[in-house]
Chains A and B, each alone.
Chain A
Amino acid sequence: MTSDELIWRIAGGSGDGIDSTSQNFAKALMRSGLDVFTHRHYPSRIRGGHTYVEIRAADHEVQSRGDGYNFLLALGDSFARNPKEEAYYGNEELKPLSENLDDLREGGIIVYDEGLIDDEEVADIDLEARAEENDWHVFPMDLRALAREHGREVMRNTAGVGVTAALLEMDLGHIEDLMEDAMGGDILEANLEILHEAYDTINEEYDFEHELRAPEGSHDTEQALLSGSNAIAYGAIDAGCRFIAGYPMTPWTDVFTILTQNFPDMGGISEQVEDEIAAAALALGASHAGAKAMSGSSGGGFALMSEPLGLAEMTETPLVLVESMRAGPSTGMPTKPEQGDLEFVLYTSQGDSSRVVFAPGNIEEAYEQTRLAFEIAWDYQLPSIIIYDQKLSGENTNVDVEFFDRDPSPDLGATLTEEELKEAAHDASGKFKRFNYDEAENNVSPRSLPGQQGGRYLATGNEHSPVGHISEDPDNRVAQMTRRIEKLESIREDLDEEHASNQTYFGDETAEYGIITWGSSQGAVAEAVERLNENGYPVKGLGVSDMMPFPEREVTDFLESVDEAMVVEMNATAQFRGLIQKELGRFGDKLTSLLKYNGNPFEPAEIVEGYEVNLEGEDRQPTAQVRIEPAAGD
């Protein structure tokens, strides 16, 4: 007997190894043939505080965290040394058991650590009565004592995994393999003992009445478990990026760290510098001198990058920046996702400035669009930005390994060799016409690199002549400005013709109701649409990734084909909906918004409910912390 899906939540204190334990368990589930999706919830603190990780595993594709969950492993917090006394951390009260019960589905399983969880807490919440009411199956176990007996207290996570495996009738093989990869010697031995002891104890001492079992599945090809940050970092590597500069800021730090750790082995350079202005300026300097370079940050740090961003544009220096959104304004909620920086990223920097902006919707897209961001930046000599968020950054899903098997492209795009420079246009003084507008194909004027014979020119953030001298000549201004701005049109054509669409379509093609979204909300929308279709509602979905240049044709076609569309995004001011209306200049009366900005990503059920409420057309709001913004005329 197996179940359709398992959503396992491990809860406890930050710094207690919740993350690494869940990472390994997710991998074990993936190795057993399942598709997995992880979701991480953590407070902005280093130790203690309520944190959990959810792993959703099923024999079919999983694109979001799902709705609620069905297995809770509640570990105490070892940093709350005395669990009998109330432990408060700022405004986060650590209650790994009671905090988590609201989302536990009927028939679910609870395993909690009796050793570290307060009896009073258990009494307070009237666990017994609630369990009865919801048909929960509760297994109190002294995981701490078990871990202490065979090793050290921190190993109680392993005991928890052992208990889980026993209750779900899972084979321990994959878990053991992963432990063997990760550790050795006495530590491994102790962990294996704990794992088996926990597994056996459950089997010997408890009767199970619950129906939940681990699903069974199989993969035809080898899978890898990757986060969005991994995918972006690897996309950059395959695009030939070998220079990164940055300053730490959650959640961008992940990409920065992954590249920094890998670069020494692949001849790349990473620089942690004094601030984000410097970081982006370094990436720009490296790019100017001939490296494929990137930088990035999260909202607050990206704010500082607007100067170098504009400079990259004016000097037509290729550059890739990543912007990993978290809830704002200002420092906001550092560890919580939001899609609130869209307008900021699109319009930051002075003048008629423009750049390319991609918002990948899942792990595969994060990889592909990062590669594309590099390709376009170097082909068209302008900055391109990957905008994503804390959710995509940290969630792990399995990807077919073959998906990555392609050629690296360390190509510098529109950059001349010395041979080519000999043929290129120069002015009377012998300077290379680097910003030539007469012969620009696709509005691109190929560049030279410092140190090349015959390529001397001046790059400047001021308006400039073809060789780069500062110029306020009106004719030159118009020619240069027009060429720079029209690059976006050339890019749009290029994207439409040369590249498979970056937009993702799902659901019933003939439907007259559409749900449109962008970035990391795509997975939850896709699942909601699937569910609505299964329940007989004709709905289709579109996940848009190209933010600039905007895929006018595709979005127009989609919106023309429906009577009504709901725009789903994680912010309070409907920024993406605003973008659609600005870019297309119509559809204002067809669009409603479903907005969520409480720090947690959408669950598919919330979108389903949003659809229902919207269709009913009553003056009511959905029950969850989401908001409907009605349509408004053009």
Chain B
Amino acid sequence: MSAFNAIGEEREIDRDEFTPGVEPQPTWCPGCGDFGVLKALKQALPEVGKNPEEVLTVTGIGCSGKLNSYLDTYGFHTIHGRSLPVARAAKLANPELEVIAAGGDGDGYGIGGNHFIHTARENHDMTYIVFNNEIFGLTKGQTSPTSPKGHKSKTQPSGSAKTPLRPLSLSLNAGASYIARTAAVNPNQAKEIIKEAIEHDGFAHIDFLTQCPTWNKDARQYVPYIDVQESDDYDFDVTDRREAAEMMHETEDVLNEGTVLTGRYYVDEDRPSYSEEKHAVGEMPDQPLAERYFDDDAEWERSYDLLDRHT
């Protein structure tokens, strides 16, 4: 008998199970894009057969970081920028968990930028959703790493002198094996992309465009958007790194000009996930670590087996 019976439990899962029954109700502003992510997740999770108790959502700090307060799964609301190292270790300790990390553009691309690069590079099997509203929401509207050049805020009153970060290209270069961009204003695509990301065996990065009507009043509300998979104007092979790179560049160029391109940009099904790589070199146990502590028959090697070399 497993110590984690919720994992892999097969039953009809109701969407409402992902909504906390009593409190709290979301404190996001009316019209906030974050509602779109929450909704898409609530739809996607039952459709991929996930039970709320086998899902661990790990978030950072920011309006985005509150996601798992309003989504009824196991959750870890961590600290600013640190969701990824917490999430990937939880996955290593219990690979059977469905791990979804989420955070904002300030959280994920700013303070947590180093972790983003390395988690993508290692290709941990998890989904990472970055709520990209091109601004710091929770701290009241400062310029973020994705804010457009010239963006004015209280901390950049003369307009930002910095070129915005290009999350899709960065992710590709860092090593993510699934990269997509979607938008809160496009719920159907968002749901489908989240489902694919969850089912993808590797690091799936979703740059999720979420409007912030409170602080980013000038920001394009990401409409109209174009779905690159649906449009005849864009024909590229998502499994081809170079074509994907070119398409990402174009997407990132035109976003600054007000054209919103969304869709899947890169999918590499062949690249082994980090735990598979680790397993191959003999550094990953067969049984989940977490499970072993409940296993009465587990053999626990002891230090004094190691003492021989010291005598």
State whether A307 touches B79 (Cβ < 8 A).
Answer: yes
State whether A459 touches B75 (Cβ < 8 A).
Answer: yes
State whether B285 touches A451 (Cβ < 8 A).
Answer: no
State whether A290 touches B94 (Cβ < 8 A).
Answer: yes
Residues in A whose Cβ lies below 8 Å from that of B82:
277-278, 281, 307-308, 311
State whether A234 touches B306 (Cβ < 8 A).
Answer: yes
A415 to chain B: closest residue by CB: B293
Residues in A whose Cβ lies below 8 Å from that of B264:
none
State whether B283 touches A222 (Cβ < 8 A).
Answer: no
Q: How far is the CA of A226 from the CA of B311 in the complex (A)?
A: 9
Known contacts A410-B293, A459-B77; A269/B283 CB under 8 A: yes
State whether A291 touches B93 (Cβ < 8 A).
Answer: yes
Is A462's beta carbon under 8 Å from chain B? yes
Is B20's beta carbon under 8 Å from chain A? yes
Residues in B whose Cβ lies below 8 Å from that of A273:
85, 118
Report whether over half of chain A's contact residues are helix, strand or loop; otherwise say mixed. Answer: mixed
State whether A449 touches B283 (Cβ < 8 A).
Answer: no
Q: How far is the CA of A287 from the CA of B93 in the complex (A)?
A: 8
A280 to chain B: closest residue by CB: B85
Residues in A whose Cβ lies below 8 Å from that of B307:
224, 234, 401, 404
Is B56's beta carbon under 8 Å from chain A? yes
Q: How far is the CA of A237 from the CA of B88 in the complex (A)?
A: 22
B61 to chain A: closest residue by CB: A461
Partner of A265, one of B79, B286, B290, B301: B301
Q: Could you list 5 examples of A-B contacts with CB < 8 Å?
A: A290-B293, A308-B82, A408-B302, A450-B94, A453-B53
State whether B24 touches A469 (Cβ < 8 A).
Answer: yes
State whether A451 touches B92 (Cβ < 8 A).
Answer: no
Residues in B whose Cβ lies below 8 Å from that of A262:
306
State whether B88 touches A282 (Cβ < 8 A).
Answer: yes
Known contacts A292-B293, A450-B97; 18 additional CB pairs below 8 A are: A266-B300, A269-B285, A273-B85, A277-B82, A282-B92, A285-B90, A286-B89, A289-B290, A410-B292, A415-B293, A417-B294, A429-B72, A449-B4, A450-B94, A451-B7, A458-B74, A460-B77, A468-B75
State whether A267 touches B285 (Cβ < 8 A).
Answer: yes
Q: In the complex, how many angstroms separate the beta carbon of A228 from the nearest chain B beta carbon?
A: 13
Q: How far is the CA of A523 from the CA of B149 in the complex (A)?
A: 62
A269 to chain B: closest residue by CB: B92
Size of the chain A interface, CB-CB below 8 angstroms: 81
State whether A428 touches B22 (Cβ < 8 A).
Answer: yes
Q: In the complex, how many angstroms separate the beta carbon of A254 from the nearest chain B beta carbon?
A: 14
Residues in A whose Cβ lies below 8 Å from that of B58:
285
Q: How far is the CA of A283 from the CA of B89 in the complex (A)?
A: 7
State whether B85 touches A277 (Cβ < 8 A).
Answer: yes
Partner of B78, one of A268, A281, A290: A281
CB-CB contacts below 8 Å: A433-468 with B: 449-462, 468
Residues in B whose Cβ lies below 8 Å from that of A279:
85
Is A341's beta carbon under 8 Å from chain B? no
Is B144's beta carbon under 8 Å from chain A? no
State whether B302 touches A429 (Cβ < 8 A).
Answer: no
Known contacts A458-B69, A468-B75, A470-B24; A285/B88 CB under 8 A: yes
Q: How far is the CA of A120 from the CA of B277 in the complex (A)?
A: 58
Q: How far is the CA of A452 from the CA of B1 in the complex (A)?
A: 12
Residues in A whose Cβ lies below 8 Å from that of B68:
458
Q: How far is the CA of A453 from the CA of B11 in the complex (A)?
A: 14
Residues in B whose Cβ lies below 8 Å from that of A372:
none
7 closest A-B pairs by beta carbon, nearest first, are: A290-B290, A429-B21, A285-B89, A234-B303, A451-B4, A285-B86, A281-B85
Is A393's beta carbon under 8 Å from chain B? no
State whether B287 touches A267 (Cβ < 8 A).
Answer: yes
Q: How far is the CA of A242 from the CA of B290 in the complex (A)?
A: 10
Q: How far is the CA of A234 from the CA of B307 in the complex (A)?
A: 9
Q: How far is the CA of A458 from the CA of B69 in the complex (A)?
A: 7
Is B54's beta carbon under 8 Å from chain A? yes
CB-CB contacts below 8 Å: B270-311 with A: 278, 282-287, 289-294, 298, 300-304, 306-307, 310-311
Is B73's beta carbon under 8 Å from chain A? yes
Is B96's beta carbon under 8 Å from chain A? yes
Residues in B whose Cβ lies below 8 Å from that of A462:
77
Q: In the complex, how many angstroms separate the beta carbon of A519 from the nearest chain B beta carbon?
A: 22
State whether A275 touches B114 (Cβ < 8 A).
Answer: yes
Residues in B whose Cβ lies below 8 Å from that of A455:
53, 74
Q: In the complex, how many angstroms separate the beta carbon of A468 from the nearest chain B beta carbon?
A: 7
Q: How far is the CA of A449 from the CA of B23 in the complex (A)?
A: 22
State whether B303 touches A238 (Cβ < 8 A).
Answer: yes
Q: How far is the CA of A274 from the CA of B82 in the complex (A)?
A: 12
Q: How far is the CA of A457 from the CA of B287 in the complex (A)?
A: 25
Is B238's beta carbon under 8 Å from chain A? no
Known contacts A234-B303, A238-B303; A451/B6 CB under 8 A: yes
State whether B93 touches A284 (Cβ < 8 A).
Answer: no
Partner of B5, one of A263, A412, A418, A460: A418
Is A405's beta carbon under 8 Å from chain B? yes
State whether A291 touches B289 (Cβ < 8 A).
Answer: yes
Residues in A whose Cβ lies below 8 Å from that of B298:
410
Is A488's beta carbon under 8 Å from chain B? no
Residues in A whose Cβ lies below 8 Å from that of B61:
461
CB-CB contacts below 8 Å: B55-102 with A: 56, 58, 61, 66, 68-69, 72-79, 82, 85-94, 96-97
A411 to chain B: closest residue by CB: B293
Is B115's beta carbon under 8 Å from chain A? yes
Is B52's beta carbon under 8 Å from chain A? yes
Is B255's beta carbon under 8 Å from chain A? no
State whether B7 touches A268 (Cβ < 8 A).
Answer: no
CB-CB contacts below 8 Å: A223-277 with B: 223-226, 230, 233-235, 237-238, 240, 242-243, 245, 262-271, 273-275, 277
